[in-house]
Amino acid sequence: MERKSEQIRNVALLAHVGSGKTSLAEAMLFSGKSTSRLGKVDDGSSNLDFEPEEIKRGITISSAFHHCSWKKHYINIIDTPGDDNFHSDTRFSLHAADGVVIVLDATAGVKVGTEKVWGFADEKALPRIIFINKMDRERSDFFKVMEETAKAFNIKATPIFLPIGEEDQFKGLVDLIKMKALLYAKDGSGKFEDADIPADLSDTVNEWREKMIENIVEADDELMEKYLEGEELDNQKIEEALYKGMKSGVIAPILCGSAILNVGAAQLMNLIYLGLPSPLEKGSITGTSPRTKEPIERKITADAPFSALVFKTMADPFAGKLTILRVFSGTLTSDSELYNANKETKERFGQIFLLEGKKQSPVEQAIPGDIIAFAKLKETATGDTLCKESDAIIYKLSDPLPSVISYAIEPKTQGSEEKVFSSLARLLEEDPTLRLNRDQGTSEIIISGTGQIHIEATCEKLARKFGVEVQLKPVRVPYRETIKKSATGIVYRHKKQSGGRGQFAEVHFDISPLETGAGFVFDEALVGMNVPRNFVPAVEKGLLEALPKGVLAGYPVVDVKVRFYDGKSHDVDSSEMAFKIAASMCFKKGVQEAQPILLEPIMKMEIIAPEEHMGDVMGDLNSRRGRVLGMDTQGKYQVIKAQAPMSEVLRYALDLNALTAGRGTFKMEHSHYEEVPAQLAEKIIAASKSEE
């Protein structure tokens, strides 16, 4: 069928990890005849979880896209990750959605991940449908989960369907609007037949229908009046008010089913095409002008100038790079040129693709609301806007979630550091939440991510896609050394006499501490002619070579001033080499006498955790030598601003998760250096000596 923007529905499935949203997406694709069999996550036959890392873990790691036709409408399904480690990808993918389905597990209810993804839908003010899945499982409880959801998100529980039976007796749904039962075949075919409502359910059904109508009429003043006057409302009017309330976000309807038995997918798809908005219903979208930085309103129509946001990139070793974008305005045909407004460059592309899980199918044109892909764009990255150069606009992508855990990464085979770096750089295009840098102090390659599984899956991807095997090691803390007092009149003579030409140089230094962050200062204060001036650069070079390896534990020396005021030389035996060695040895001798100390990096932290976990979080911070600087409230959460030594918080992400049952989050950045307490300094010095 030919796509028209008014028939497109872009819907993202969101959930806590393991609630069954990928299975629900598979049931929708099968019911919409896009797939010929019901894909299953558990046996690796899913069309949407196809990456080996996803099949191995049984979770979604990267958002996947597919589409199906349903009652003359075209539904784009966005299957997003539920695991915390990959939530940035979920947030980015919501730029392509016009509505969401929140999937809950009927045996588990509202979990941490549910709260987080609900928050993402709030950020974008997206209308939502709630689907309570796994009704066929032991200990499933529709009413308990429904009440819990209403309470957690402060919404009115508005079920449109109720379950018939539960656990292994679950066999269908009651439609509360049409007041009929739908009895399902349990073979995954999605077939059902209409029947009368079972007698034992009639009281429950009547009670919930009343509550449902009460909530729905709030979306329509006229209907509300009739209802309050006691008039009988016809089903069509109730339905119209429901869809109006859904689109405005006043009502989040609740339905239930079982994705793996394909019960409820058809009813969900009806709600999606009738109750979620088409891409055109938003009317316009706001961006900014690349030149003036002023806001621009862009009409969402097929004849407006073309504009689209790149919200995802996939690195494919075979197809090259796949750039995935959501079209907001205008129409595009294949083999054209677009303007990248962020990079101020032109991009040529060939074919336009629609995504179908791991496959792509070519299409002739793209229209507003389409989710499309281009292969092998040169400059374009996630977060860029592609548009017409004459009508340039920039849309802003959500910020990635902060990195919370870091490891040093090294190749298993010697000498392939460059390949590790270049392959990781390609994965960075795909995943903007990864951070990669070289620590100048320890010269390690440091990889940072949003959690342990995130880093592990990245390493697996590195091996599979680019053939690079790596190992992870704890990050070395970049300690520093400095001095606390001045040492004056330090003299060192370097003298070597062994057949042939000798070596001779003598230098006299004063060494003094500088304020924090001043680095190193060399002060040449020679008077008289004891040292020829052509040896001064050699002395400075000797000092610069001595700085990276301090006398205490071999860490770089900082914030020190050396005054070179005198020395001695020999007409024949003095050389640059001799003065370099003398300077280096004199510096070490001087530092020993100037009360050397060890400095450690202190991190600035912002921790967000629920009220009830505050005591544990504070106690834990104290045990890590942390200092609390201030506190704030943010809704149900408390925000702690604190400082703590880097060595104590290297694996804080894992510990905070355990302390707060996964509900705490934090941000961390380097703040400054401070002196290490004496008893700890002794341990660090001893450890570095034993390493040598």
- For 107, residues 6+ apart whose C-beta sits below 8 A from its C-beta are 134, 137, 138, 139, 140, 141
Q: Is the residue at 428 inside a domain? A: yes
Residue 398 lies in a domain: no
Same domain, 418 and 382: no
Pair (409, 516) in one structural domain: no
Residue 421 sits in which domain range? 405-473
* pLDDT (0 to 100) of residue 441: 65
3-state secondary structure of 543: helix
SS3 330: coil
Q: How far, in Å, are 21, 187, 269, 302 from residue 263 at the CA level?
A: 14, 10, 12, 37
- What pLDDT is attached to residue 465? 81
Predicted pLDDT of residue 595 = 95
Question: Within this chain, do residues 572 and 655 fall inside the same structural domain, yes or no?
Answer: no
In sequence order, the 6+-apart residues with CB closer than 8 A to the CB of 391 are 305, 307
Cβ atoms < 10 Å from Cβ of 440 = 10
CA-to-CA distance for 210 and 568, rounded, in angstroms? Answer: 101
Per-residue pLDDT, 316 = 67
Are residues 315 and 218 both part of a single domain? no
Question: CATH code at 347?
Answer: 2.40.30.10
Residues 626 and 641 in one domain: yes
Q: What is the domain-level CATH number for residue 134?
A: 3.40.50.300
This model's pTM is above 0.85:
no
Q: Report which secondary-structure segment, H or E, holds 418.
A: helix 417-430
Does the residue 400 lie in any domain?
no
Residue 439 lies in a domain: yes
Same-domain pairing of 313 and 435? no
List pLDDT tens digits, range 630-645. 999 887 789 999 999 9
- The whole-number pLDDT of residue 437 equals 83
* 277 and 302 belong to one structural domain: no
Specify if 517 maps to a domain: yes
Give the residue among 430, 265, 282, 288 at the shortest CA–CA distance from 369. Answer: 282
Question: Looking at the structure, do residues 308 and 269 belong to the same domain, yes or no?
Answer: no
**Pair 125, 251 in one domain:** yes
Contact yes or no for 172/164 (Cβ under 8 A): yes
Task: Identify the sign of the CA torsion 313, 314, 320, 322.
Answer: negative
At 329, which amino acid appears? Answer: S
- Judgement on whether residues 248 and 103 belong to the same structural domain of the protein: yes
SS3 368: coil
Nearest-angstrom CA–CA distance, 230 and 622: 62
Tokens 């190992």 belong to residue:
471
Residues 428 and 544 in one domain: no
**Which letter does DSSP use for residue 412 in this model?**
S
Task: Show which of 281, 308, 323 is a domain's final residue.
Answer: 281
User: Which amino acid makes up residue 358?
Assistant: K
8 Å CB contact between 674 and 600:
yes
CATH number of domain containing 421: 3.30.70.870
Residue with tokens 């819990």: 148
> Looking at residue 58, what is its pLDDT?
75
Q: Domain boundary residue among 356, 391, 426?
A: 391
Instruction: Decide if 28 is inside a domain.
Output: yes
pLDDT, tens digit, 9 for 90 and up, residues 167-218: 889 999 999 999 999 999 888 888 999 999 999 999 999 999 999 998 998 8
Distance separating alpha carbons of residues 309 and 241, to the nearest angstrom? 33
Could you please report the per-residue DSSP string of 71-103? TTEEEEEEE---SGGGHHHHHHHGGG-SEEEEE
Q: What is the mean pLDDT of each run of 10 residues along the chain (692 residues)?
A: 86 92 91 80 72 75 89 93 86 94 93 88 94 94 94 91 92 94 89 92 93 89 87 88 91 94 94 94 91 92 94 76 92 91 92 87 92 89 92 92 85 79 81 82 81 86 85 88 95 84 91 92 91 94 94 93 94 91 96 95 92 91 94 86 93 88 84 92 89 73
- Cβ count within 10 A of residue 528: 6
DSSP string, 99-163: EEEEEEETTTBS-HHHHHHHHHHHHTT--EEEEEE-TTSTT--HHHHHHHHHHHTT---EESEEE
Q: Which of 451, 473, 495 is the last residue of a domain?
A: 473
pLDDT value at position 319? 64
What is the predicted pLDDT for the residue at 428? Answer: 83
Q: What is the pLDDT of residue 321?
A: 84
Examine the domain organization and report whether 565 and 440 are in the same domain: no
How many domains are there within the chain?
5
- Predicted local confidence at residue 148, as pLDDT: 93
* Domain CATH for 584: 3.30.230.10
Domain of 664: which CATH number? 3.30.70.240
Is 526 among the domain residues?
Answer: yes
Is residue 148, in this structure, part of any structural domain at all?
Answer: yes
Q: How far apart are CA 492 and CA 583, in angstroms?
A: 8
